[in-house]
Structure 1
């Protein structure tokens, strides 16, 4: 009788309780979000001489699922305050945040109207997201509003100018009559479940992006991948420090050897890497991998994503990861084919005999020396959700080693390179490639208008109470939380 009871209990656990628990876990927690709760402030660390803080390129602003039709968001990037809103037609638009009338912030109380427009909460002036024009509300053909423009003679000292009759003083002067009113419009793209905004210092190129972000939809569909999670970190450094890390071969063996020293001190990561510009005519030859399946995958990626229109703006990486046992035996874990696109976007395609994963990384400069770094992970369906979460948190653990350096270093403006060393030679080449994104840039560093609180906050998150969170929290000085399902279709 007792034996039958034990057998029944075991069967119940194996075939009913465990599947039920996994189903609950699957439905509620299969998209994992890590958000660094402690935001890094600018501090007083001297950075030395640096390139401009805001290079030309595409920057990630928000996840598509966090902007519903008819909703607005106050955002900041590249030292600017902007308003992002989704028209009732489903299209996202980005404009300068402050109304041209009296300076109200459209992201706080502004209302979406007329399908593509946003109405100022202060006096009802309406701006068209497609053009930035201020249009007369209630008019179907969107007639542009005309107005006279005034400004102070001397706003700092408030020095008056005598009127013609010498009886009154004038502090404001008319600078134009019946001028068309408009706000600056920013080009944005909604792709791969994200909204990206194009920034360029040249007004002519601000409306005409030089290259387009990768569309991953076909690649993810072909490999049956799905989004599994994302991490958001805030870093106190110059923007170039973060993407330059990917081309720095030697730092991997110094900062990223550790797996879990406390538990497995005899296990270490070993890395080898190649970095090369996409414009090199020998790129395919340089990127050849000895593993046939890795090589076939890598060559297909090169053919899929590199073309004549984006080649100049791409740097390609090939990173091999091994686990080293007792500093003697090496086991191949994966190869990552990486595409650094422009100053802020990175696409990493991992191929392994055991799994297949894609990472999307982007860094957004909120203001000078204040960066928001986002990683998103996509994995094949057979990978359990706890394992893809562990992969993402492993990446975050490695990132914290880098952040300890970035948050406290100066920018290396004067460099000591050993050009006989392949690693230094690669860094020299990478800096020459990256510097093109500063061409024509003039720093726009707001002193009083830019407020960190205007930056778009991360999505609403829910506490995750599980052994996994306890395990990971013991490894990282962070809060780990998990959201319900996000859609990236």
Structure 2
């Protein structure tokens, strides 16, 4: 009996250990947080109705163009195995991502130009880097988009217009990115490679993912809005992330202390802006050992942030923050961590980061964009950040009309069709 008890306790402790060191995988979908409809909180279908109603009544303000130019993350490397096909939602469109037999990645528009079948549903990777339509078997190159074979046709002549638009993609830092430019300009800058990931010095430590209902510019603008750190993000994560239930104006016993700055870089790196941040935690005014962190957050284009951390004796690492516009005011935000820290410390850090970020989601989900805000002396370089971010728009960048339509449909570089 005693031995059985010892084994039981051991198994329980081992299970707890495995849970604590398992990489964080926190996913919050639209509706899970960020909405407030009073008390008691509506549930189920009634909550879904309230969210749809809010979408119609919400005041967006005089927002900038909804789709900036740049690289955007669409998947992690481990999401896509050789010959695998994945559906992608990007800028209000269905796209198809697939990996060739030799490992290269390709993105094409999802609909076959023959009779409109969806490559993402039943399409097959063939001939190394081509995709085959599930309806009639037409085969298209992932590199050029041109039809290479029509299996049932006895004619060697393939229709000249038998092509499907392809999108520029790159695979770096164990992520897959897609390029968009409203003027059809090919990539003008590269995503910096992190050698510690390629060498395995920094290992995968977890991820979080959130659906956010806001304009894309609102999210990176937080990096220059230093004043909100000293109000919304002072209170410890012990009080959660729901700002409708938090006493934000009180003096907390557990307190985050922030000191930061933001500056844009110059040519040839004008597409990069950098936030420098120091942070530590206090309990009743006493600094907690092991909580001091130095951060350099590089905003690379409109949708990528490399957060490079120095945790002191606990090691170093990076968190990739990516913002991908799935629709005009619907963003998918992901945080993925690679570090040399212990698994438990990384999990606590990622969870703390998620709670702080989720407080912002409550604000972004319900706010309107103010084109000409009122500033006070200590607001931080918000205006400078807006001028910097403006470089990712041109006169042809799609805007949102009052009826919810777009002034123009985002296209790949070789898409000349009016779909």
Contact 1:56 1:441 in 2 (8 A): no
Map of 1:470-485 to 2, 5 A cutoff?
none
1:95 aligns with 2:126: no
Partner SS state of residue 432, structure 1: helix
Give 3-state SS (helix, strand or coil) of 2:222's partner: helix
Cα-Cα RMSD: 3.1
- CA contact 1:128–1:135 (8 Å) conserved in 2: yes
Deviation of 1:10 (Å):
12
Written as runs of structure 1 = structure 2, the 5 A alignment for 1:71-470 is: 71-137=84-150, 145-146=158-159, 179-203=160-184, 205=185, 208-216=186-194, 218-220=195-197, 224-261=201-238, 265-279=252-266, 309=268, 311-327=269-285, 333-355=292-314, 356-381=316-341, 383=342, 385-418=343-376, 421=377, 423-424=379-380, 426-443=381-398
TM-score (norm 1): 0.68
Gaps of 5+ in 1: 147-178, 280-307, 449-489
Report the CA distance between 1:144 and its aligned residue: 7.6
| Shift in CA distance, 35/262, structure 1 to aligned 2, threshold 3 Å | closer
Contact map agreement 1:54 1:441 (CA 8 A) in 2 = no
1:36 to 11, 28, 32: 28
Q: CA–CA distance in 1 between the matches of 2:277 and 2:352?
A: 16
Aligned CA distance change for structure 1 residues 253 and 223 (closer, same or farther; 3 Å): farther
Change (3 A) 1:227 1:428: same
Where structure 2 has 5 or more consecutive residues not aligned to the other structure, the ranges are 33-50, 241-250, 407-419
- Determine helix, strand or coil for the equivalent of 2:171: strand
Q: Distance in 2 between matches of 1:354 and 1:370?
A: 39
Specify whether residues 417 and 106 from structure 1 end up closer, same or farther in structure 2 by C-alpha distance, changes over 3 A only. Answer: same
CA contact (8 A) 2:173 2:198 kept: no
Q: C-alpha distance in 2, partners of 1:329/1:33? A: 29
Deviation at 1:260, TM superposition (A): 4.2
Larger Rg: 1
**Deviates most, 54-63 or 220-229:** 220-229
Q: Is the contact between residue 202 and residue 440 of structure 1 (CA under 8 Å) also seen in structure 2?
A: no
CA pair 434-137 structure 1, distance change in 2 beyond 3 A: same
CA offset at residue 276 of structure 1? 0.5
SS in structure 1 at match of 2:387: helix
